[in-house]
Chain A
Amino acid sequence: MVQIDFTLDAKGLACPMPIVKTKKTMKSMDSGKVLEILATDKGSTADLQAWAKSSGHQYIGTETEGDVLRHFLRKDGAGSPEETITIPEIALTDFAQKVETDENLTILDVREKDEFEEAHIPGAVHIALGDVETRMEELEKEDTIYIICHSGRRSGIAGDLMAKKGFDKLYNVVPGMRDWTGKTV
């Protein structure tokens, strides 16, 4: 999991308040720290993305839990070129087609051990996000690797870590196992 340093509760607040509060909170944070923002205003996703871009922060992603949106931002994260690597995404539906036609696909599942054991795609390799940094060498840098998690957020972070170490054929499967309807074991 990405390390969350601060949480801002903006649930029930209408635009512009989620961003006004986010900006204020980010001001008091140190560079590189991650803020989780809980919001119910649907417009907050597009606005936070655009705001992060214009103000030099890194928009890490958003998870949806019922009516609540959980946004993740890293302060000043977009400032250093290293942090801006974002691996390409593949939609779950397109990915499902690939899984059906090619059994030798390299799939990396970065969820926690118990999530993986409950149900995963046949043949998927398991390295929890927290271990990706130390264990990624178990995979071949030349291979095309499809990275998956529950929603697409952790897999995106794992992909960024791997891309920095020279893996260059990576795809982030979005959303992820949350909406997977194909075979599992």
Chain B
Amino acid sequence: MTVTAMTASEVAKKVVNNQPLFILDVRNGDAFSDWKIEGGNIQYLNTPYFDLLDGVEEVVSELPTDRDILVVCAKEGSSVMVAEMLSEEGVQAAYLQGGMKAWSEHLEPVKVGELSNGGELYQFVRLGKGCLSYMVISEGEAAVVDATRMANIFLDFAQEKGATIKHVFDTHLHADHISGGRAIAEATGAMYYLPPKDAEGVVFEYAALENGLEVEIGSSKLEIEALYSPGHTIGSTSFIVDSKYLLTGDILFIDSIGRPDLAGLAEDWVGDLRESLYSRYQDLANELIVLPAHFMIIDELNEDGSVAKKLGDLFKENHGLNISDEQEFRDMVTKNLPPQPNAYQDIRKTNMGQITPDEEIQREMEIGPNRCAVR
């Protein structure tokens, strides 16, 4: 019997294709209940590795024989040990290469659609954390929106596509994950845009992302247009790409809406949130395809692994867009909020350039689920 590694990319494909998988998660119980690999056809058993040091006999009987078994831990070491012990008992099991750390950092690029003049729009799905980033490519030029910390993935992808990154945007100052925007801009010489109202504490140079800003990608001038839509943060800005796609940032998700409290100003910003969703977005074409910066649950993924839906459908189906009573809306987004993301204040400081933790600490800060929405 051999112990094989399964990569985060292979796990991602199983999740997207809804293939069966059995996960033996050997992290401690708190870590498991806080955050795990989610998937529609995944079964779980959580037994900490330290309870298996004397032998795995007790779990063997609980493992299925009709689906692949994947042993998962934080960084890999313990899962290799447990997979080897299982192998000695005659059970074939793989371990997750790089552990939950690798899962948290894995990005799955999905093509969302064709743009005019042969352009393409890609969505980078960070399954482990629910973050979504975007790259618009047209005629050898590219723009990146809401890039995650793993800047190299975007740089490599653009290179593969033969495109030069010209513009880098963050729809808002993120509080749940560390932005890779600044690093990408520095590596490519691209312009890095942030909404000035979110950027008061930012200590580096940036270009102002303001309502009505238009940038063009490629020689046939594919358009990206900025639309001021505050509420999650006071600077939150959406993008309309090629008159076809609406990148909503953390204002509007597929099955939920943005929360206004991560900068400590829920009461002040709830009015802005309502106006963005119930007035500004209402004026847009129903045919626009909404591309948010997050998903919360795996059910929000389409069959091809993308997270996208027509604005008109969201007006019908998304509860957060259908609360006619203003007070009820106000209560929903300011009361009973989910816990705030782990380390969100340090993440905001990092994104403002006020602190520069080393990579290992940045990783730790991002561990855990994102919690940017209210439902």
Q: Is A15 in contact with chain B by the CB < 8 A criterion?
A: yes
Is A15 within 8 A of B78, CB to CB? Answer: yes
* SS class, residues of chain B in contact with chain A: helix
Task: Determine whether the beta carbon of B81 is less than 8 Å from that of A46.
Answer: no
- Kindly report which residue of chain B lies nearest to residue A16, judged by CB atoms: B78
B30 at the interface (CB under 8 A from A): yes
Asked if B30 contacts A50 (CB within 8 A), the reply is yes
Q: Which residue in A14, A17, A42, A51 is a CB contact (below 8 Å) of B48?
A: A51
Contact with B along A115-153 (1 / 0, CB 8 A): 000000000000000000000000000000000000000
- Residue of chain A at shortest CB distance from B30: A46
Evaluate contact between B364 and A19: CB separation under 8 angstroms. no
B83–chain A nearest beta-carbon distance, Å: 12
Known: A51-B50, A54-B48, A54-B51. A16 touches B28 (CB 8 A): no
Query: Could you tell me if B28 and A47 are in contact, using CB atoms closer than 8 angstroms?
Result: yes
A12, CB-defined interface residue at 8 Å:
no
Determine the chain A residues whose CB is within 8 A of the CB of B29 once the complex forms. 50
A185 at the interface (CB under 8 A from B): no
- Whether, in the assembled complex, B201 has its beta carbon less than 8 Å from a beta carbon of chain A, the answer is no
Per-residue 0/1 for A64-99: is the Cβ within 8 Å of any B Cβ (1 yes, 0 no)?
A: 000000000000000000000000000000000000
> B47 to chain A: closest CB distance in Å?
10
Decide yes or no: A23 and B53 within 8 Å by CB, A15-B77, A42-B364 being known contacts: yes
Checking B51, B73, B364 against A15 with a beta-carbon cut-off of 8 angstroms, the contacting residue is B73
Please report the C-alpha to C-alpha distance between residue A8 and residue B73 in the assembled complex, in whole angstroms. 24
Q: How many angstroms from the CA of A23 to the CA of B48 in the assembled complex? A: 14
Say how far A8's CB is from chain B's closest CB, in angstroms: 15
What total count of A-B pairs have CB within 8 Å? 43
A47 touches B77 (CB 8 A): no
Are A46 and B28 CB-contacts (below 8 A) given A23-B50, A54-B48? yes
In-complex Cβ contact of B77 among A17, A23, A51, A54 (8 A): A17
Q: Contact check, A16 vs B51: say whether CB atoms are below 8 A apart.
A: no
B77 and A50 contact, CB distance less than 8 A: no
State the Cβ distance, B55 to closest chain A Cβ, in Å: 13
Q: Is the CB of A14 within 8 A of B75?
A: yes
Q: Which of B28, B31, B49, B364 has the most CB of A within 10 A?
A: B28
Q: A43 contacts the other chain (Cβ, under 8 Å)? A: yes
Complex-state Cα separation, A67 to B75, whole angstroms: 19
Residues of B within 8 A of A46 (CB): 28, 30-31
| Segment 258-273 of B: residues with Cβ below 8 Å from A | none
- The answer to whether B49 and A16 touch across the interface, beta carbons within 8 angstroms, is yes
Tell me if B24 is interfacial: C-beta within 8 Å of chain A.
no
The answer to the question of B194 belonging to the interface, with a C-beta cut-off of 8 Å to chain A, is no
> Once bound together, how far apart are the Cα atoms of A16 and B74, in whole Å?
10
The smallest C-beta distance from A45 to any residue of chain B, in angstroms, reads 10
Contact B31 A16, beta carbon cutoff 8 Å: no
Residues of B within 8 A of A20 (CB): 53
The answer to whether B77 touches A16, judged by C-beta atoms less than 8 angstroms apart, is yes
| Residue from B29, B50, B75 whose CB has the most chain A CB atoms within 10 Å | B50
A55–B28 CA distance with the chains assembled, in angstroms: 13
Contact, CB under 8 Å: B28 / A19: no
- Give chain A interface residues in 49-63, CB to chain B under 8 Å: 50-51, 54-55
Collect the chain A residues with CB atoms within 8 Å of residue B28's CB. Answer: 46-47, 50
Given A16-B81, A42-B364, A50–B74 Cβ distance below 8 Å?
Answer: no
Min CB distance A25 to B, Å, is: 13
Question: A50-B50, A51-B48 are contacts. A14–B77 as well, Cβ < 8 Å?
Answer: yes
C-alpha gap A23/B50 in the complex (Å): 9
- Taking CB atoms, residues of chain B closer than 8 Å to A50 are 28-30, 48, 50
Nearest residue (CB) in B for A19 is B50
Q: List 27 A-B contacts (CB under 8 A).
A: A14-B77, A15-B73, A15-B74, A15-B75, A15-B78, A16-B49, A16-B50, A16-B53, A16-B77, A16-B78, A17-B77, A19-B49, A19-B53, A20-B53, A23-B53, A43-B75, A46-B28, A46-B30, A47-B28, A47-B50, A50-B28, A50-B29, A50-B30, A51-B50, A51-B51, A54-B50, A55-B50
A16-B49, A17-B77 given; name 15 further pairs at CB < 8 Å.
A14-B77, A15-B75, A15-B78, A16-B50, A47-B50, A50-B28, A50-B30, A50-B48, A50-B50, A51-B50, A51-B51, A54-B48, A54-B50, A54-B51, A55-B50
